[in-house]
Structure 1
């Protein structure tokens, strides 16, 4: 009825971010579950740890059980501070001071979609019959899909 669960419908974009930052996956642990929609065959909650070949570790958690839409928050910890993507903005926090580095100029689309949906859809239609290169290649798209498929194949849905 829903077309897919949390990972494939909502979280794939966050997993795109993590894969872009971390690179090739070394291992995946954690699990997916049905906390609210127990009668459906899909997950509504996930807690996943990704370890990358370069030593970077990432932790992802997400749920469809919120009472209202909330934007994603992605935080990257670095030696001299941390970067956060939240509410369509990129922040740098150094020594307790936060400053905005970049804003996502979304236009007239839903806030949680971000600007890339509009760019990708336009790129797809422009490429039909014009031999133009897609905004995001198929090989890049398949990387995040493989991560999600690997999580599903673990069989940890409870």
Structure 2
């Protein structure tokens, strides 16, 4: 994730850029891509991460890097920032497996940059067709409505959402503790991050 969030963006509202109310750059801007990494790759086992704050106009991180280790042995790499100049470059997601590679990106996250799956030559055309669809929010609302009408669990349930949030919190905790953090977490609060980050920055100096 390579975005631009200017100082005026953070100054436009008192909650922006604060650990207590914003929750951090990954929570605010990056959670959908962490969610995708987990949705596609499986259950996370542990997370290691580091943060960097460049702008002093806010409390939260400008840059986040991380490594997710999954229960199946796979690795997920996180690279996110909000200091890309002069404007957003956009988003990208790349999957590298034993039988193929898929890379999706672009400012609207709707461009198939590379696609190869062993034994499936049609997958690139299928992905390209899907990339032109812009009604994903409609589909999510429809799924939610049907879950209520039919009294069933919807596709995206709270336990799935919790996994992404927990992975981000583990990355934040890893930055403070300088170690890989096993999942699941027992407890974590972004409200405590302001004091912890300031303490770490002072120690690093």
TM-score using structure 2 length = 0.60
Task: Indicate the residue corresponding to 1:10 in structure 2.
Answer: 29
Task: Indicate the residue corresponding to 1:119 in structure 2.
Answer: 139
**Structure 2: segments with no counterpart, 5+ residues:** 1-14, 17-21, 119-123, 177-196
- For residue 121 of structure 1, report the CA deviation from its aligned partner: 4.6
* Change in 2 beyond 3 A, CA 1:129/1:55: closer
Whether the 8 Å contact between 2:95 and 2:102 is mirrored in structure 1 is yes
Where in structure 2 are the equivalents of 1:72-151 lying within 5 Å?
72-86=91-105, 87-90=109-112, 91-93=114-116, 99-102=124-127, 103-104=130-131, 105-107=133-135, 115=136, 117-121=137-141, 123-124=143-144, 126=145, 130=149, 131=151, 133-151=153-171
Match of 1:153 among 173, 183, 202: 173
Deviations, residues 31-70 of structure 1 (Å, cap 9, x unaligned)? 11212x2231211210101111111011110101112123
Task: Indicate the residue corresponding to 2:74 in structure 1.
Answer: 56
Deviations, residues 67-102 of structure 1 (Å, cap 9, x unaligned)? 21232111111224311122314441479xxx4441
Structure with greater strand share of residues: 1
- Aligned to 2:60, what secondary structure does the other structure show? coil
Q: Is it true that 1:20 corresponds to 2:43 in the alignment?
A: no
Whether the 8 Å contact between 2:147 and 2:154 is mirrored in structure 1 is no
TM-score using structure 1 length = 0.75
* Change in 2 beyond 3 A, CA 1:92/1:4: same
- For residue 5 of structure 1, report the CA deviation from its aligned partner: 2.5
CA RMSD in angstroms comes to 2.8
- 2-structure distance, mates of 1:94, 1:106: 25
**Structure 1: segments with no counterpart, 5+ residues:** 108-114
* Change in 2 beyond 3 A, CA 1:94/1:62: same
With a CA cutoff of 8 Å and minimum separation of 6, indicate the structure with the bigger relative contact order: 2
Structure with greater helix share of residues: 2
Bigger drift between 137-146 and 24-33 goes to 24-33
Higher-Rg member (1/2): 2
- 2-structure distance, mates of 1:118, 1:50: 31
